Amino acid sequence: MTRALRITGVAVLAVLLWQALVTFTGLPRFILPGPLLVAETLWTSRALIAEHALVTSAEVLAGLGIGAVLGFGSAILLAASPLARTVLRPMLVFSQAVPVFALAPILTLWLGYGLWSKIAMALLIIYFPVTSAFFDALMRTPGDWLGLARVMGAGPSRVMWRIRVPAALPGFASGLRLAAVYAPIGAIIGEWVGASKGLGYLMLLANGRAKIDLMFAALIVLAVLTLALHAAVDAGCRRLLAARES
């Protein structure tokens, strides 16, 4: 309850500052529309915005789910195999050295203007944080635990799944929390490069037609979706870690 009140207070303060900036600077509405105008547009265009928000949400959730599964499996493979660390880790680092903006047109060319190019963009952005955070946690398993397991005759697979993975779940949860924030960035970049639906496409369309109030309304919806996704992932991670402790 206290957290909700704090978030509400920050949101109200931001809206008041926004309205004060519009009022005292006299900026025209095609530069910076006021919050009341944006709220009116958000209501009158709610069906249009909801249609595009559903598309973006599907892209983000699919990218997040696939990225979490691949990151989980990749981290375990890297932790279990020195050969995989030698071969795959440089490739992971190189994948982050190439700007995602440069890859977006290539993915759109290969995968088309549909959902898959946007899912791939979200996947590229979140795959490395999830894999890196979980892998680091796997490699930091207390040595006493591993030594005791070996003394008791546990094999490598049993040590991995019974000791290393449960001990590293907080690192995996941290990677998922980061991924929940980064995933919408990949989807929006993909929609900017080439799309016919989605909040990113709607923002470009509104900007091209000088409907800045609609662009701000879509941006606010995107921010709310990102916050809701992060809150949902955070709640799921808390339950996962609570189950691990019990």
Domains along the sequence of the chain with CATH: 36-245 (1.10.3720.10)
Phi-psi domain of 217 (left: phi exceeds 0; alpha: psi -120 through 50; beta: other): alpha
Separation CA 150–CA 152 (nearest Å): 5
Residue 220 tokens, joined: 């606010």
pLDDT at 114: 86
Contact 108, 193 (CB under 8 A): yes
CA angle centred on 94, ends 66 and 138, rounded to 5°: 60
pLDDT at 200: 94
- The number of angstroms, rounded, from the C-alpha of 177 to the middle of its chain's C-alpha atoms is 8
Q: Which residue has the tokens 């997040």?
A: 64
DSSP tag of 106: H
pLDDT at 58: 96
Instruction: Please give the biggest Cα pair distance in the chain.
Output: 75
Contact 207, 199 (CB under 8 A): no
pLDDT in tens for each of the 246 residues of the chain?
577 778 788 888 888 898 888 888 888 888 889 999 999 999 999 999 999 999 999 999 999 999 999 999 999 999 999 898 888 888 887 877 788 778 888 888 888 888 899 999 999 899 989 999 999 999 998 878 777 777 787 788 888 888 899 999 999 999 999 999 999 999 999 999 888 899 999 999 999 888 999 999 999 999 999 999 999 999 999 998 888 776
pLDDT at 122: 92
DSSP tag of 198: S
Separation CA 156–CA 79 (nearest Å): 11
Write down the pTM of the prediction: 0.90
- The number of angstroms, rounded, from the C-alpha of 48 to the middle of its chain's C-alpha atoms is 24
Separation CA 216–CA 239 (nearest Å): 35
pLDDT at 107: 87
- The number of angstroms, rounded, from the C-alpha of 208 to the middle of its chain's C-alpha atoms is 27
pLDDT at 1: 54
Q: How many CB atoms lie within 10 A of CB 125?
A: 24
Q: Identify the H or E element spanning 159.
A: helix 156-159
Separation CA 230–CA 139 (nearest Å): 26
Contacts of 8-12 with C-beta under 8 Å, sequence gap 24+, read none
Separation CA 198–CA 209 (nearest Å): 17
